Structure formats: structure tokens, C-alpha cells
């Protein structure tokens, strides 16, 4: 029985990793939508649109664009269609159930800026930069209305929510709001009051009030019955969106004001980055979003999810924030990061390592939940975060940034309040330049090491921090400061025993230091370029370093000598770490590759490729089951160890192979050709198949009329699937290249193609390449058979001429004997009685001569018939070859000229054949001339022998 896992009891080297999860950019700016059933989050990613599962974040569809940036899109309420527009001026309709494009139409003369779909999911309105508004039928794709009247770019469109009123409202940067009647195709009103571009429109629950928000920092309320301005509410911020909340659905907004059934509220958002809710009647502020500490981004749009009564804020820094109005009020409970810049560093967090802290070329630390589709932003630094490290249990996080400071954070991932999950307990201030490396001690939480571009290393005492009541203003004190290197310090690593630490710098050196005293213990010299990473072995007294010289070196901690050098990357190696209890190394570099090394053999056993840019970050889980990498392509890959699974799969495949081999042998033994052919195809054994077909053709029963030799085999070949036909044709193509395998190859080809239509053959995968390989050699085999047929005529002619010569010679001999006998009898004289006896004897001799002549004629005719029969067999073989499917030659007409090698070989064959034919004709011609000369001599000697002349004419 196959083993399901490697033998236990010893450490097994890892050989295979696969990318099982990726964290990449899902939103690069623009429009965001959530389906009405709250299943899908739909975002804009450059020129494409991503449809994501809102719970898991898995990509359901990617709707490919047309190389132009998506400007806007909208989805129908039934969730069936998505309509998108891009700068290419195309209006596209997508089927969300299949992720396919339904139609594409040129809509406007300028890009579409805004879009809205009516409550019935039948019409879509598009507002363009050409100052026009068009209404389209979604199902059939034709334009139903074209409204003109605005004097600028259309900035907002909205269908009236009442299905009995076919009205369309629009706003533009001409500061006006217009109302259109779809039934009469006329403009109902022009509402003028704003002094800046109108960015948002909403209709009250009663349907009688229109709310318009503008960048002039006010909200106007319009009476749709009289088309008059009711009131104006100042908001004191530039408004980017406005909307109305459902009446009577929300009893309380968090811990703030209670709402009665008659209260009607609306929300606004803008450059302040906060959502605000106002009373529609009084204009008073009802609730306000809690300010995100450290956030400087504004809000570009707000989505209202009516089913779960949530507000989703889309920020200008490509983050998506979720607010539950009833439970949490306007406090964020979930966040999705839409765009990651370059990934600079990553570390695992939490006791179960279920979260991943990421430094992504920004001043915030991003903490991704690897099990759920959400991310927390940790604010605190004022410049880009460069490096991260954690303690042994993942409850402390240290960060270094370009603001010349390092911070230490407590981690409590089980905390429900996002603001309490990550709290700063103190700051390390003292470096004069950016901090490029940080390291926390492993056994205790007492010390922090920082390395900076100011070429110094500082050791900080963390014991003064208050973990119960964290204070982000607390400042740690340093134990010592070391002028460690002559250039920037790139990496710091602390040994597992917390006694020594190592540093790597751009000065090409790696140095070993005493942790408690800060004294230099040794220097590792050997790299030709800067050292990017250092790492201690978890079990051995050695240190691994990676450098810009494209090498990894292993150093002894006893004498600081180089033990091994690993080469294989084609560019700088930026990170290195140990795996498999110190028996293996994993590295990543600027070539975008992750490599797995075995230390004992000095070999690279695996190369992982799923990045398109340099890889800056590398982290390994404690159980070494997963390796995380992040790079300049804004992508994070989680590589899972599949060594055991592949081992089990390989053992199972070997066991299955043995069983199938035995099964195939049993089929061949029982002469079960049908199952034998099918199984041989599945096992990919072309030689066994060739032997099988040869055996079937050799054992063809007498009187059999099948193609291959057995009708059952013909049926099997007729019933093959397209994939099996493609595989078998590939084998036939290979067999056809050898003359000795020409007969089975052409026979199987004929059997495959005879009963199939051309359309069926065209559907075979890779048929063009297969025919291109079959055509030249098939033509060569046909030419050989035709030349063999021609040569058979020469043999026939030669044999016939030889028979004629033999017959003529025998008759001449008989004629001479008869004449001699007659002359001898006449010279002797005699009486009448003797003459009568002579006549009787002459008649007997004449009968004997005629009998011999007839026997010779019959023998010649039999020989001639035999040779004619052999010639007919050759001609029949040639005709059968010509009757084989010429489809191959016809399809490959464009390839009539063979390659140079084939032309030379074929030319030699043809020239040799031509010479042989000429020599045969000359020899035959010479023999014929000699025969004619002998016949003329004999005729001169025997002019009186008329019978012999007649017989000779008959024989001719």
C-alpha cells in the first residue's frame, strides 16, 4: 500500500512550496460598489474591475478592460448586470453570473464621468464630460434618451426612487441641478443656487424633497412639487457625496441620539475624512464619525447598504471603511486596504501567527488578518516605516521609520475594539537619520536594538514601559551607542540565546557583537558588495549573510571563517532565513525569485516564482509550514510547504502506475485490444501501442476487411475523445518519421481520419502542429510507393523479354531438327512403300513438334501471367497508398517545400532511382537489340520455314 507521508522519526528536507494565498491591491482609486445582496465587493483596479467575495476577499471575477482607465460603473439592483465606462468612450455591459462581456457600445464623444441605474434595473443613465446625459436600455443596449442643457461636465445623476415617477435628476460643474421627465423627454426644471460643482444628489423617503450637495460646502433642499429651494444647510467642508437614510429603519445611531419613526436624516462626507449625519428638518448634526487618529485622507464616496444598515466609506488613500449604524454607531468596525505600495518588511503577529504586520512604504503599519478579509492600520509614525520585528510570542512589535524613531507596540489581536488592538508603549528617540533595522530579544522582552543610517547601533531598555496603561509619549533610554560600521546599517539579528548579535552593512562587512556590553567579537569579511541580511542558525554555531554580490555565505562563529557560499540568484539577495532546523536556507532577491537551499549539498532544491519585481521582505512561521514574501510589485505571497503532500502523491502515483502496468499486461495477454489501447494511451506508452498495432496487423485474419486488422480496434479508434485523438496523432507523427514504422503509422492515421468530419478534426487540440509534422513524411512515403510501382514495370518488361527469347530459341532448335530429319530421308531414295512410311513418320514428328511448341507457349503464358499478377499487386499497393487520406497533404499544401535536410535526402533518393531506371532501360534495350539481330540471322538461314515464322509472330 502507498505511504501517505514520509517516514517518521527524523527530519526531512523540504522540497516544495506553493503559493496558496496572495494579498494584492484590490482598489487603485475610482468607483466602488457593493451588490445589493451584500455578497460582492466590486472595485476598480486600473483598467480592470475586480469582483470579490466580501467575506473572504477571494477574487470571483476580473473583468478585463481595454487598456484605458475605468472612469465609473454601476450594478443593477437584481445583481445580474454591471455596466462600466472607461476613457476609451466605450460603454460595456457585463453578466455578473458568468463574468463575461455582453456588449460594448460607443456612448459619448467624451468620457463618462457618472452613472446611475433605475430601481427597475432596466435603464442606465450616463453623464459625460461632453455635457450630455444619455439613457440606455440595459438588456438591448440602445439609447432611449439624450438630454442636453448643462453647460459643463456632468458630475451627478440620479433616478427618482418612486417607480411611478420617471424622473431623472442631474448636476454639473455649471453649478445647476436639472430635473428631466423621461416620458415627455423634456426638462422639468433648472435649480440654481450652488456656486460650485454639484457632487451629490438624493431624494427623501417621501419623494418630495431633493437634496443636493456641492463643493461650496452647503447642502440645498428642493421641493420637487414646486421646484423651489426650501432651505440651505452649511456643512463647513467640501462635500463629495450626500445620501438619505431609510426612515424608521434605525432606532439609534450608536450611543448617540435616538431616532423616532418620523425622524429623517441624511449623511454627507468630504475632505475632512469623516461621515456626518444631519437631521433633514432642522439641519442639526445628529452623529459624526470618530476621527481616525493620524489619518489625513478625505472621503471620495459613501455607500449605503440598506440590508444591514451599514455605511461604507471610500477614502482618498484607497481604503474601505465599514460602519455599523445600529451597533457601533459611526465607529469603524472593519477596514479593507485597497492598495499597497512597495512591501518593505513583514512579520507574523499573534500567538497563533494569524496576523501579518506589513511595512508598505507608508507611515502606517498595516496588520492583515490572514483568516478574514480585513486589515487594521496602526498610526504613530510620521514618515515611512522601513523595518519591523517581533518578540518570540508575537505580543510585542517594534518598528523603525524614516522619522529617525523606533516605536514599540503591544499586540492584542483578540480585542474587538480596533483602537485597543495595537497600542504604543514607548518611543526610541536618539538617532539622527532613518532607522533601517530593529531587533527584539528572543528570550526576554527587556532589550531593543536599532541600527541607523547614521552608522550607529543603540541598545534600548524596555523594562520601563507600562504594559497595563500604555503611554505613547513614554521615551526609552539607551544602554549604549556603538559606532558600528562605515556605511548604512541594513540588518540586525540577535542570537537565540540572547548573548550576541550580528549586524550587516553597506560596507560589505558583517560583525558579531556582545549583546550585554556592546563589544566587537569578530568580523566576517568576504562579500564584495553590501550585506543586506544576517540571520543566526537556530541550532548551530553559524551565521548566514546575504549580499548585493548575489551570494549567500555561511560563517563559523568560532573563528568567523566562511564555511560555504551559495550562488544561484541573478541579482542582489535581500533576505535570508533558516529552515528545517538549520538544515536549509530560504532566500529572496532583486531577481523576483525565492530559492530554497540545502546546506549540506550546497544546492538549490526549489525556485519559487510569483513576483514580478524585487522581493524586499521575507518571514517564516514558527512551525515552518509557511513562508511569506513581499515585494515591490505590491504583492504578498504566502508559500505553503507541500513536501509531504507531494511525497504522498508521488507514492500514490507510483502505486497506481504499477497497477495499471499489470492491468495492461493482463489485457494484452487476454487480447482485449480495446481496453489495452485505451489504457496504453492513458499511461502514455507509445512504444507499447506501436507493438500492439504491429501485432494486430501481423495477425490479420484471412478475409478481414477492417483497416487495422480487427473491426474492434477500428471501433475503438472511432470512439476516441478529442484529447485521446490528439495524443494518438502525436504518437503517429513520431512513428511516421521512421520508414520501418510507416505502415502502422499510415494505417492508424487512415483509421482515425476516415470516419471523421473535417469539423471534428479541426476541433482536435493542436491539430495544425500535428498535421504540419505528418505531411512531409507522408508525402515522402507516398513517393517511395509510386517509385516502387514504376520499377515493377521495368522488372515485368525484362522478365517478359527473357521469356520471349527462351521461347524463340526452343522453336528454332525444333525447326532445325525437323529439317535435318527430312533431308536425310529424301537422300536415301526408295520405292513407293518406303515413301509412304516416311510420310507417316514425318506426320508423327510434326505432331510431336507442334505438341512441344504448345507446351512452350503455355509455359511462357503462365510465367507472363505470374509476373503480371505480381505487378498488379504492386500497383494495387500504390493505389491503396494513394487512396489513403490526402487530407494531410492538402492541409499542409503551404509546407510542400521540406526543410534542407529532407530535400537533400529526397533528392538523393530520386536521383538514385532515376539512374537505376536509365541503367535498366539501357540494359533492356541492349538485350532487345541482340535478340533482334539473332532473329534476323535465323530468318536468313530459314527463309523457307513459314510455320516457324507464323509461330514467332503469334508468340510476339
pLDDT at 875: 56
Of 944, 936, 950, 941, the closest CA to residue 850 belongs to 950
> If the chain, 956 residues long, is cut into consecutive pieces of 10 residues, what is the mean pLDDT of each piece?
45 88 90 91 92 90 90 92 93 92 92 94 94 93 93 94 90 94 93 94 92 94 93 93 87 68 88 90 87 80 89 91 79 88 93 92 92 89 93 90 94 86 92 94 87 94 85 90 92 93 94 92 94 94 95 94 94 94 94 94 93 94 92 93 86 83 79 79 83 83 81 83 86 86 86 84 86 86 83 77 66 50 44 51 64 66 63 56 45 39 37 39 41 42 41 38
Alpha helix stretches (DSSP H) within 828-891 = 832-883, 887-891
3-state secondary structure of 13: coil
pLDDT at 2: 38
3-state secondary structure of 267: strand
Distinct helix (H) and strand (E) counts, the chain: 13, 56
pLDDT at 254: 60
Q: CA quadruple 407, 408, 411, 415: dihedral positive or negative?
A: negative
Q: Report how far Cα 167 is from the mean position of its chain's Cα atoms.
A: 47
3-state secondary structure of 244: strand
Output the pTM of the full model.
Answer: 0.71
- Tell me how far apart the alpha carbons of residues 592 and 941 are, in angstroms, rounded to a whole number: 103
DSSP class of 150: -
Strand spans (E) along 193-227: 198-203, 209-214, 218-223
pLDDT at 855: 67
Angstrom CA distances, 828 to 209, 633, 819, 831, stand at 157, 127, 15, 10
Angstrom CA distances, 565 to 535, 552, 604, stand at 15, 6, 12
Of 482, 526, 520, the closest CA to residue 508 belongs to 526
Strand spans (E) along 306-354: 310-315, 319-324, 332-337, 345-349
Q: Which residues, including other chains, have CB under 8 Å from residue 793's CB and lie 6 or more apart?
A: 871
3-state secondary structure of 838: helix
Residue listed under C-alpha cell 505511504: 3
- Tell me how far apart the alpha carbons of residues 697 and 122 are, in angstroms, rounded to a whole number: 67
DSSP class of 341: -
3-state helix, strand, coil in the chain (%, to 5): 30, 35, 35
Q: Do the Cβ atoms of 99 and 61 come closer than 8 Å?
A: yes
3-state secondary structure of 60: strand
Residue 385: its H or E element:
strand 385-390
Of 64, 52, 1, 9, the closest CA to residue 27 belongs to 52
pLDDT at 914: 38
Bridge partners for 428 per DSSP: 406
- Tell me how far apart the alpha carbons of residues 498 and 515 are, in angstroms, rounded to a whole number: 7
Amino acid at each position: 500500500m502507498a505511504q501517505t507521508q514520509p517516514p517518521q522519526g527524523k527530519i526531512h528536507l523540504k522540497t516544495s512550496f506553493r503559493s496558496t494565498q496572495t494579498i494584492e491591491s484590490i482598489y487603485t482609486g475610482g468607483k466602488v460598489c457593493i451588490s445589493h445582496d451584500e455578497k460582492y465587493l466590486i472595485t476598480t483596479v486600473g483598467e480592470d474591475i475586480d469582483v470579490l467575495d466580501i467575506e473572504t476577499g477571494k477574487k470571483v471575477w476580473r473583468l478585463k478592460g481595454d487598456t484605458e482607465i475605468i472612469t465609473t460603473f454601476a450594478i443593477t439592483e437584481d445583481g445580474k448586470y454591471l455596466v462600466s465606462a472607461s476613457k476609451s468612450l466605450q460603454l460595456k455591459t457585463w453578466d455578473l453570473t458568468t463574468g463575461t462581456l455582453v456588449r460594448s457600445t460607443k456612448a459619448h464623444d467624451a468620457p463618462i464621468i457618472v452613472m446611475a441605474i433605475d430601481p427597475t434595473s432596466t435603464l442606465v443613465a450616463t453623464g459625460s464630460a461632453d455635457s450630455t446625459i444619455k439613457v440606455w436600455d440595459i438588456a438591448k443596449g440602445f439609447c432611449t434618451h439624450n438630454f442636453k442643457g448643462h453647460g459643463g461636465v456632468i458630475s451627478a445623476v440620479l433616478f427618482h426612487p418612486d417607480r411611478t415617477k420617471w424622473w431623472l435628476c442631474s448636476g454639473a460643474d455649471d453649478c445647476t441641478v436639472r430635473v428631466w421627465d423621461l416620458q415627455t423627454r423634456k426638462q422639468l426644471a433648472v435649480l440654481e443656487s450652488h456656486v460650485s460643482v454639484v457632487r451629490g444628489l438624493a431624494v427623501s423617503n417621501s419623494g418630495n424633497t431633493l437634496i443636493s450637495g456641492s463643493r461650496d460646502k452647503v447642502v440645498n433642499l428642493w421641493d420637487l412639487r414646486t421646484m423651489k429651494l426650501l432651505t440651505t444647510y452649511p456643512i463647513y467642508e467640501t462635500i463629495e457625496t450626500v445620501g438619505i437614510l431609510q426612515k424608521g429603519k434605525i432606532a439609534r445611531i450608536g450611543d448617540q441620539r435616538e431616532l423616532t419613526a418620523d425622524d429623517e436624516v441624511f449623511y454627507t462626507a468630504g475632505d475632512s475624512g469623516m461621515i456626518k449625519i444631519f437631521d433633514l428638518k432642522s439641519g442639526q448634526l445628529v452623529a459624526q464619525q470618530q476621527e481616525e487618529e493620524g489619518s489625513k485622507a478625505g472621503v471620495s464616496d459613501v455607500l449605503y447598504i440598506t440590508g444591514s444598515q451599514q455605511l461604507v466609506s471610500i477614502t482618498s488613500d484607497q481604503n474601505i471603511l465599514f460602519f455599523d449604524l445600529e451597533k457601533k454607531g459611526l465607529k469603524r468596525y472593519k477596514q479593507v486596504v485597497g492598495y499597497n505600495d512597495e512591501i518593505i518588511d513583514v512579520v507574523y503577529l499573534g500567538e497563533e501567527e494569524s496576523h501579518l504586520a506589513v511595512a508598505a512604504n507608508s507611515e502606517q503599519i498595516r496588520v492583515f488578518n490572514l483568516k478574514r478579509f480585513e486589515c487594521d492600520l496602526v498610526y504613530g509614525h510620521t514618515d515611512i516605516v522601513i523595518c519591523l520585528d517581533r518578540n518570540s510570542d508575537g505580543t510585542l512589535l517594534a518598528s523603525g521609520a524614516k522619522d529617525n524613531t523606533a516605536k514599540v507596540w503591544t499586540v492584542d489581536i483578540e480585542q474587538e475594539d480596533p483602537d485597543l488592538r495595537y497600542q504604543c508603549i514607548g518611543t526610541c528617540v536618539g538617532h539622527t537619520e532613518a532607522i533601517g533595522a530593529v531587533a527584539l530579544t528572543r528570550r526576554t522582552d527587556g532589550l531593543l536594538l536599532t541600527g541607523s543610517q547614521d552608522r550607529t547601533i543603540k541598545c534600548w531598555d524596555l523594562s520601563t514601559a507600562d504594559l497595563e496603561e500604555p503611554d505613547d509619549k513614554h521615551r526609552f533610554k539607551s544602554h549604549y551607542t556603538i559606532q558600528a560600521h562605515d556605511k548604512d546599517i541594513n540588518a540586525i539579528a540577535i542570537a537565540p540565546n540572547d548573548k550576541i548579535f550580528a549586524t550587516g552593512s553597506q560596507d560589505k562587512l558583517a560583525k558579531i557583537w556582545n549583546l550585554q556590553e556592546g563589544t566587537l567579537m569578530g568580523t566576517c569579511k568576504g562579500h564584495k558588495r553590501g550585506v543586506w541580511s544576517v540571520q543566526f542558525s537556530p541550532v548551530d554555531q553559524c551565521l548566514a549573510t546575504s549580499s548585493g554580490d548575489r551570494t549567500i555565505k555561511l560563517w563559523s562563529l568560532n573563528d568567523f571563517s566562511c564555511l560555504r557560499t551559495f550562488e544561484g540568484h541573478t541579482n542582489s539577495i535581500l533576505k535570508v532565513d533558516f529552515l528545517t532546523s538549520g538544515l536549509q536556507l530560504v532566500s529572496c532577491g532583486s531577481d523576483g525569485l525565492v530559492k530554497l537551499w540545502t546546506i549540506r549539498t550546497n544546492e538549490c532544491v526549489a525556485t519559487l516564482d510569483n513576483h514580478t519585481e524585487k522581493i524586499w521582505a521575507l518571514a517564516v512561521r514558527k512551525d515552518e509550514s509557511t513562508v511569506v514574501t513581499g515585494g515591490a510589485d505590491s504583492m504578498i505571497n504566502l508559500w505553503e510547504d507541500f513536501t509531504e503532500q507531494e511525497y504522498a502523491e508521488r507514492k500514490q502515483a507510483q502505486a497506481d502506475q504499477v497497477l495499471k502496468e499489470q492491468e495492461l499486461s493482463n489485457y494484452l495477454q487476454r487480447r482485449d485490444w480495446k481496453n489495452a489501447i485505451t489504457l496504453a494511451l492513458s499511461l502514455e506508452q507509445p512504444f507499447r501501442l506501436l507493438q500492439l498495432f504491429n501485432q494486430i496487423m501481423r495477425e490479420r485474419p484471412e478475409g478481414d476487411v477492417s483497416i487495422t486488422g480487427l473491426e474492434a480496434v477500428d471501433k475503438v479508434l472511432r470512439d476516441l475523445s478529442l484529447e485521446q485523438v490528439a495524443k494518438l496523432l502525436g504518437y503517429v507523427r513520431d512513428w511516421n518519421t521512421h520508414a520501418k514504422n510507416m505502415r502502422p503509422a499510415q494505417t492508424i492515421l487512415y483509421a482515425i481520419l476516415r470516419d471523421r468530419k473535417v469539423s471534428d478534426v479541426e476541433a482536435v487540440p493542436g491539430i495544425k502542429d500535428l498535421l504540419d509534422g505528418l505531411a512531409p513524411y507522408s508525402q515522402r512515403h507516398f513517393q517511395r510507393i509510386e517509385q516502387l510501382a514504376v520499377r515493377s514495370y521495368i522488372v515485368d518488361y525484362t522478365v517478359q523479354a527473357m521469356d520471349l527469347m527462351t521461347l524463340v530459341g526452343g522453336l528454332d532448335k525444333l525447326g532445325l531438327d525437323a529439317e535435318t530429319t527430312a533431308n536425310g530421308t529424301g537422300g536415301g531414295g526408295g520405292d513407293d512403300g518406303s515413301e509412304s512410311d516416311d510420310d507417316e513418320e514425318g506426320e508423327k514428328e510434326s505432331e510431336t513438334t507442334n505438341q512441344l511448341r504448345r507446351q512452350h507457349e503455355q509455359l511462357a503464358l503462365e510465367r507472363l501471367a505470374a509476373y503480371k499478377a505480381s505487378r498488379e499487386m504492386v500497383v494495387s499497393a500504390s493505389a491503396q497508398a494513394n487512396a489513403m487520406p490526402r487530407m494531410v497533404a492538402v492541409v499542409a499544401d503551404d509546407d510542400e517545400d521540406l526543410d534542407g535536410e529532407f530535400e537533400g535526402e529526397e533528392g538523393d533518393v530520386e536521383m538514385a532511382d532515376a539512374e537505376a531506371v536509365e541503367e535498366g532501360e539501357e540494359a533492356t534495350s541492349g538485350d532487345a537489340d541482340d535478340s533482334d539481330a539473332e532473329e534476323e540471322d535465323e530468318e536468313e538461314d530459314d527463309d523457307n520455314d513459314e510455320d516457324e515464322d507464323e509461330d514467332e509472330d503469334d508468340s510476339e
